[in-house]
Every structure is written in C-alpha cells, then in structure tokens.
Chains A and B, each alone.
Chain A
Amino acid sequence: MSCLKETSQFVFDCSSLDFIDSSGLGTIVSCLRKSLEHNGDLKLASLGPQVTMVLELTKAKRLFAIFSDAAEAVNSYVTGRKA
C-alpha cells in the first residue's frame, strides 16, 4: 500500500472481478482498515453478482460503501454523498 503516502481515499473498481474467496476478501478488508486509519475510505464499485454474493455471505457488505460504477464512487468523495 505505497499509495497510502499520496492519498487515503480509494475506489476499487470490481467490474472485472468475477470471483473472490476468503483470502481475497481478507486483503480488501485490511486495505479498508488501513485507509480508515489514515482518515480515508475504500469504496467499492461495479460489483458483479458473484462477488456481491460473497460479500453478503461474509457480512463484509456492510463494511463498505458500494456504488454501481466507479465514477459515482469517485464523485461521492467530492460531494460527500452516501452510497
């Protein structure tokens, strides 16, 4: 997470992500934790149905702000609008 030096506000565009397991999920959650430690956030965008299912299964969905596309997620940092 070297980019943490430059910013702490992230958007993960998941449009090409078609599968995630517990270790992948663990990585994303630890990224979120680090961002939050730096007073930032990590927002997810364009989740596919499979990935959404895993997030719901693991209750991780409630940890993240989720947007339908990346641009909307980026905008939300500017406007402060909630997902």
Chain B
Amino acid sequence: MKTLIVIREADYGWLTPLFPGVHPLVMPICNKPFIEYLIDFSILAGSTAVRIVSDGPLNDVERYCENGSRWGIDISYASILVDDDLDAVMDKNARYCSEGRMMVTSGFIFISYEKKHELKPFVAMAPAGTLLRGSTGSLLLTGTPENVGEVREPAPCSLVELDSIGSYYRLSTEILNERPSPYVLPGYSNEPDCHIGRNVVTSKGAEIIKPVIIGNNVQIMKGAVVGPFAVIGSNVIVDRESTVSNSMLLDNTYIGENLDIVGRIAYGNILIDPASGVSIAMEDRHLLSGMKRDGIFGLGLFRYLFHAAVSLLFILLLFIPYLLLAPLLKIQGKWKNRTMTFQGVQQGKNVIVVRPSIAGEGVLSGLARSLSLDRFAMLFSALSGRVAVIGSFPVEAGRHQEAATSVLMPGYRPAVFSYAEAEDWPVNAEDSSIVERYYAVHGSPVQDMVLTVKAFLNRIHAQDQP
C-alpha cells in the first residue's frame, strides 16, 4: 500500500501568522514534527511509500524528511494547484497511485491511534471509501480490500482536527499525558511521562515535575520549576526562579528570570495564550527573547574594544616567551604551523587563522602549551576583531556543513579561548556548547575579561596534570 498526504495552504492558514518562519508540517507536537506522526501512522498502517502533496512550498518539509530512508520507506513530493479536487490530485499522481490500494489523508489532521490495536490488518481489510472524516480533513482508502483474517473491533484510530492554536495546544498536552504513549517521542525516557533530550543541564535547586518532555541543549537554572505538563524544545534556557507549567517552549527560546509561564506557548520572542489566541512579541533581555545569532560582538563596539584590549594585553604578556620558545620548538620539529578555517559568526563566512600544533613531551613543549602559545597568532585575529578573545570553541569549517544550523548553537562566536575552557568543562562540541551559550546570553565585558584570564590559567593548570 502507498500513502498520499494531501495538505493545502488553506488548511493551515491559521498557524502561519502565529509562528512565522516555521512550516506548519514541521511544527513540533511534543518535540516531534507534525508530519512525522502522519508518516509513523502510514508505516503502521502498512505503507511502503508516502507522497506529500501540497499547493504550497514543501522545501522545509523536504529538508526534514528527505527521501524517507530514515524510516525505511520512500518519500516523494508533488505539487498541486489551489483548486484541484481530490480526483485531480489522484490524476496528477496517476503513476504513483497505479498500483492498487492507496491511503489518502487530506487536510491538516492528526490521526491518533492506540498501541494495543494492530493497524495494519485493520486498514488492509477496510473497504474502499472514507475511513475517518472531520470538518478539517479526512482519511480515505481506495482499491480492493485484502482478506487477512478475523474481523477486529472498530477503528483503532481516530481523527483530531487541527484548526486553531487551542487544538494544537490540547493535542500536545494529550500526547504528553497518554501513558504509555503509542507515539515514540524523542528523548531519553525511563518512565513513560518523562522524556529528556541530550545535553540537558539542570542546576542545583531546579525542579522538574512530570509529565514533561525536554529537547536537546536545554539549561534549567537555579530555582526554576519545569512542569507539570511542560514541553520544552531544543536550545532553550529557563533562567533562575522561573516556572514553566502547562506550557510549550519551542526551540531557541530564552525565558528570563523570575517569570511565570503557565498555560502558554513561547516561540522565540513570541508568547501565545492558546486559550484566547492572543500573542505578544518581545525582544527583551529580562523577559523572553529568541536565541538568535547576533553580530560578532553582541554588545557592539564597546565589547569589541574590550576584547581588543584584552588580546593586546595577552600579546604583550606572551611576546617574550613566544620569541624564545617558538623558534626553538620549530628547530626541534615539534612546532607545526597550521592554517585553519573556522566557521564565522554568520554561516558561510569563514575565519582563517593560524593555529599551530605543539607536539612532544619535553619541558619546552609543555611550557609552550601551558602558556597557550599555540593561541598566540590567533590573538592578532582577535585584535583585528575577526574572532573574539573569549567565546565559543571554534568549529572547523566544513565539518558540520550539513547540520551547521543545528550544531552551531545560537550565540556562537569563534574565539581564542572558549568559555568552556574557563569553566574547565570537557571541550567537546556537545557539552561545551551549553556553557558557551549561557555566557553568550549572560556575558558582560568585565566578566569576559575575568573568564579569559581564568581560561588562560586553566590551561596552565591542565598541563600540570598528566
């Protein structure tokens, strides 16, 4: 069997103004994009191929679903015109639909199902025609049914209409509450109503109350209370003493200190009341803001001057040791100059810096490493403002080209020293990103200077330990 998912711009027109920039088909419902639920359902119903058909753009959907190999099925895409009826849609996909039985979902609908009932035989045996119908869409079958065995109880699935922000919110809450959930939700879960993603940092004194689902790269600060009924997306910070309950925080949202998010949907800098549909947009350091990448120095010229001054200080400090040690190590062959290309603040804009490697066990190499002489040349890049003196551990260009947007966290700022080094965190992209992001949001020039010195000292200290 094959599945045709037909969805029109008019079906989800209500959603676009509320969530600008997000394609409704990849809108997360409990941290899982909407379309994935439909794909899961199609697979459980016995489909080997899914075609997504729309009169609107599908490139965002395609970027997420690709060719379906992730699910072990074929996913293809097709365009239709605004006033094509279902017959015209079938005509336009005649070749795809030519192999007999088809399942067609039409409209912005969610199909809920239970784990205990098997969908496949039920769908296989159901007669052609409309299986489920709602005011915003339907599920129908074409072609002759198969006889696979005994008759089962009536439809193990039902249709949920998505026609307002309220219905979207209710659906998420219901899925979170359904235990054990038939929908495989993303994240680690050792109890049915608690799903936690990768790299979730909960500070001392923070509280998480089930049921809750949390995405990747999330920081919950001291005294914050998350849950019950909280859906937290990826790249989210809930700052000190704030509470989030009966709410959804979508990806890339920063919730300031001392706030109450109760019965709300927050998306970047937008706060929505799902009951009334009222929304406000604010970009406020103290309340909520979208976690986006801003200029190389978030705080402008002042911060740049500060970084330049600090790097100048380090250049003066390290000038003599550099002059003494570098030529010696070069002669010994332990000092190798490498030119490296790092991803800049803006995607696609790379920064080229000299970052030598210092090999060997000797006293001299150890001394050079502990004085961070390998970063000496990079200090000049900081002086000219191409990199920051403290910020993120630079990501090599090209290494994460595919997933650059998701790997580079908001606030990424390639730098000589990284915040992670200052905090003595393990330097690997996954773990350090969170501390870097924290400072990207909370940092101030003075703190930057303190942390630069701290990072420098940490590196000296690190050399003392074998």
| Contact surface of A with B, Cβ cutoff 8 Å | 19, 21-22, 49-50, 53-54, 56-59
Chain B 89-132 interface residues, beta-carbon cutoff 8 Å to A: none
Q: Given that A21-B282, A56-B260, A59-B260 are contacting pairs, would A49 and B273 also be in contact in the complex, using a CB cutoff of 8 Å?
A: yes
Contact A19 B285 (CB under 8 A): no
Residue among A56, A57, A58, A59 facing the most chain B CB atoms (10 A cut-off): A57
Can you name 20 A-B pairs with beta carbons within 8 Å?
Answer: A19-B282, A21-B284, A21-B287, A22-B284, A22-B285, A22-B286, A22-B287, A49-B276, A49-B278, A50-B280, A53-B271, A53-B280, A54-B282, A54-B287, A56-B260, A57-B259, A57-B260, A58-B259, A58-B287, A59-B258
**B43: chain A residues within 8 A (beta carbon):** none
How many pairs of residues, A versus B, come closer than 8 Å at their CB atoms? 39
Q: Does B280 contact A19, Cβ atoms closer than 8 Å?
A: yes
Interface contact B271-A57, CB-CB below 8 Å: yes
A-facing residues in B264-290 (Cβ within 8 Å): 264, 271, 273, 276, 278, 280, 282, 284-288
Q: Which residue of A lies closest to B276 (CB)?
A: A49
Cα–Cα, bound, A19→B283 (Å): 12
Q: Closest A residue to B273 by CB, please name it.
A: A53
B373 within 8 A of A: no
Contacts of B278 in A (CB 8 A): 49-50, 53
Q: What is the CA–CA distance of A50 and B273 in the complex, to the nearest angstrom?
A: 9
Closest to A21 in B: B284
- On chain B, the residues within 8 Å of A49 by CB distance are 273, 276, 278
CB distance from B118 to the nearest CB of A (A): 45
**A59 and B271 within 8 A (CB):** no
Q: Indicate if B4 sits at the interface (CB-CB under 8 A).
A: no
Within 8 A of A (CB), among B331-358: none
Given known contacts A49-B278, A50-B278, A50-B280, is B286 in contact with A56 (CB within 8 Å)?
Answer: no
Interface residues of B (CB under 8 A from A): 256, 258-262, 264, 271, 273, 276, 278, 280, 282, 284-288
Contacts of A57 in B (CB 8 A): 259-261, 264, 271, 287-288
Shortest C-beta distance, B361 to chain A (Å), equals: 54
Q: Chain B residues with Cβ under 8 A from A19's Cβ?
A: 280, 282
Besides the known contacts A57-B287, A58-B259, A59-B258, 16 further A-B residue pairs in the complex with CB atoms under 8 A apart: A19-B280, A21-B284, A21-B287, A22-B284, A50-B278, A50-B280, A53-B264, A53-B273, A53-B278, A54-B280, A56-B260, A56-B262, A57-B271, A57-B288, A58-B258, A59-B260
**Complex Cα distance A57/B281, Å?**
13
Closest chain B residue, CB of each to CB of A55:
B260
Report A62 CB to chain B, min CB distance, Å.
Answer: 10
A19 to B278, CA, bound (A): 12
Smallest CB gap from A62: residue in B? B260
Bound: A36/B46 CA distance, A: 69
B284–A58 touching, CB < 8 Å: no
B276 neighbours in A (Cβ, 8 Å): 49
Task: State the CA gap A27–B284 with chains docked (Å).
Answer: 15
| Minimum distance in angstroms from B77 CB to a CB of chain A | 38
Within 8 Å CB of B287, what residues of A? 21-22, 54, 57-58
When chains A and B are docked, how far (Å) is the Cα of A56 from the Cα of B258? Answer: 11
Closest 4 CB pairs of A and B: A22-B286, A49-B278, A50-B280, A21-B284
Give the complex CA separation of A50 and B278 in angstroms: 7
Q: Which residue of B lies closest to A18 (CB)?
A: B280
Chain A residues with CB under 8 Å of B285's CB are 22
CA distance A32 to B314 in the complex (A): 49
Chain A nearest CB from B281 CB (Å) reads 9
CB of A7, distance to nearest CB on chain B (Å): 31
- For B258, the chain A residues whose CB sits under 8 A away are 58-59
Residues from chain A with Cβ under 8 Å of B286 in the complex: 22
